[in-house]
């Protein structure tokens, strides 16, 4: 839980997870330390019937064992709840990732289509540009041809009639 809160970057949930960890795991850790410190040898492995005089301590041991069992069951229930919540959240995230993947594929398809359209537009523009250059060259050639013919006509008529030059100007 603390790891999830840290990944999310939620300081409040991180602090809450640390408090739960200290509250829930702390007593168990203390009990383990106590049990380890009490064990000097392997005497605890062999069961010895308690004396009748120790009946009250046996009741307290049973009561403390019951308390530990209840606490362990509470921790188990909370852990199960956290696990269920985590699985649900991971399921939602999986669904979100799947949806994002579908949307990404659609965007990629649109991008490819746009690329093809832009490419065809560029080819059409290039063809139009080439056609305009050909037209400009044809018109320029036609203009030069017309000017040449006019010059030839005026030059031919001026050599026959010198006074005709004044009419042209």
Q: Which residues constitute the domain of residue 11?
A: 2-96
Residue-wise pLDDT for 104-149, tens only, equals: 999 999 999 999 999 999 999 999 999 999 999 999 999 999 999 9
**Is position 163 within any domain?**
no
**Is position 119 within any domain?**
no
Contacts of 1 (CB under 8 A, 6+ apart): 13, 17, 20, 82
**Is position 32 within any domain?**
yes
**Is position 138 within any domain?**
no
Task: Report which DSSP code applies to 40.
Answer: S
**Is position 29 within any domain?**
yes
Q: How confident is the model at residue 154 (pLDDT cuts 50, 70, 90)?
A: confident
The C-alpha atoms of residue 105 and residue 99 are separated, in whole angstroms, by 10
Domain count, the chain: 1
**Is position 124 within any domain?**
no
**Is position 27 within any domain?**
yes
The pTM is what? Answer: 0.40
The C-alpha atoms of residue 3 and residue 25 are separated, in whole angstroms, by 16
**Is position 160 within any domain?**
no
Q: What is the pLDDT of residue 7?
A: 63
């Amino acid at each position: 839980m603390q790891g999830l809160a840290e990944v999310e970057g939620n300081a409040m949930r991180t602090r809450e997870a640390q408090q739960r960890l200290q509250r829930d795991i702390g007593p168990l850790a203390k009990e383990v330390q106590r049990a380890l410190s009490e064990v000097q040898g392997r005497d605890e492995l062999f069961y010895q019937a308690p004396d009748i005089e120790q009946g009250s301590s046996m009741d307290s041991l049973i009561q403390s064992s019951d308390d530990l069992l209840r606490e362990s069951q509470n921790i188990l229930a909370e852990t199960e709840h956290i696990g269920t919540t985590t699985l649900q959240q991971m399921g939602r995230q999986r669904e979100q990732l799947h949806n994002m993947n579908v949307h990404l594929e659609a965007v990629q398809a649109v991008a490819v289509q746009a690329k093809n359209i832009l490419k065809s537009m560029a080819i059409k523009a290039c063809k139009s540009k080439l056609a305009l250059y050909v037209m400009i060259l044809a018109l320029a050639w036609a203009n030069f041809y017309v000017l040449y013919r006019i010059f030839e006509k005026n030059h031919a008529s001026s050599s026959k009639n010198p006074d005709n030059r004044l009419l042209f100007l």
